[in-house]
Amino acid sequence: MTPSAEELFAVARLYWGADQAYVFRQEPGPEDLRYQALWEEKNAERPRWGAFVKSLREALPSCDAWDYTPPLANPSFGALVYPHYEKIMHRPQKVWVVAGYLSILAPVYTVHCVRKEYLGNQLRSAKVFLGPVPLELRDIADTVAQHIEADFGATALPLEVAQTPVPLYVNFMKPPETTLFHALFTSEPGNIF
């Protein structure tokens, strides 16, 4: 059963500040200390997440799957799945990425898509799609979701709950833009490699 928005906010509030009191100080705030301690504990699960990403590669042979868990940057383990594309070097190329995140703060996950546009090797733009997954990526997104549920017992966070505004400062996100999505998964869903 998915926790309510109020329950998720109460959890997120333990790890993200409601003000900027510690932004310009050298010492970390109490939320920072809890967040760092939680990541130290969760780092023991990195091999399990690595095995999960390997299982995605096996389940999706027409894609590349990579671990995307930058240390301390996101409150989640992340996996990026890239469908294979023919590289076109001299004209704009659109590349889709399916991103799956498993929160370390609550037993919830999300799967969304990012469309990246390149000109040659240069990234021109990245657009995040948190809502319905494009039809051509639905099988990939479903596979990622099914594997997260089976391997970790997490439940999908509904979009309407994920988009609940929260009065928290999450990395570079600040109120009123911050949502539960940012607090539980990533403050920069389009900033992926």
> What DSSP letter does each residue of 38-99 carry, written as one string?
HHHHHGGGHHHHHHHHHHHHHH-TTEEEEE---TTTSSEEEEEEEE-----SSSEEEEEEEE
- Whether residue 190 is contained in a domain is answered as no
- Amino acid letter, residue 124: R
- Whether residue 189 is contained in a domain is answered as no
- Whether residue 191 is contained in a domain is answered as no
- Whether residue 39 is contained in a domain is answered as yes
- Whether residue 192 is contained in a domain is answered as no
Average pLDDT over residues 20-33: 84
* CB neighbour class for 29 (10 Å; exposed up to 12, middle 13-18, buried from 19): middle
- Whether residue 87 is contained in a domain is answered as yes
Q: Please count the structural domains in the chain.
A: 1
Residue with tokens 């009065």: 167
Per-residue pLDDT, 133: 93
- Whether residue 133 is contained in a domain is answered as yes
Question: How many degrees, rounded to 5, is the angle at CA 61 between CA 55 and CA 66?
Answer: 55
- Whether residue 193 is contained in a domain is answered as no
**What is the extent of the structural domain holding 76?**
5-184
Q: What is the pTM of this model?
A: 0.93
Confidence of residue 92 (pLDDT cuts 50, 70, 90): low
No. of helices (H) and no. of strands (E), the chain: 6, 6
Per-residue pLDDT, 2: 86
DSSP state, residue 134: P
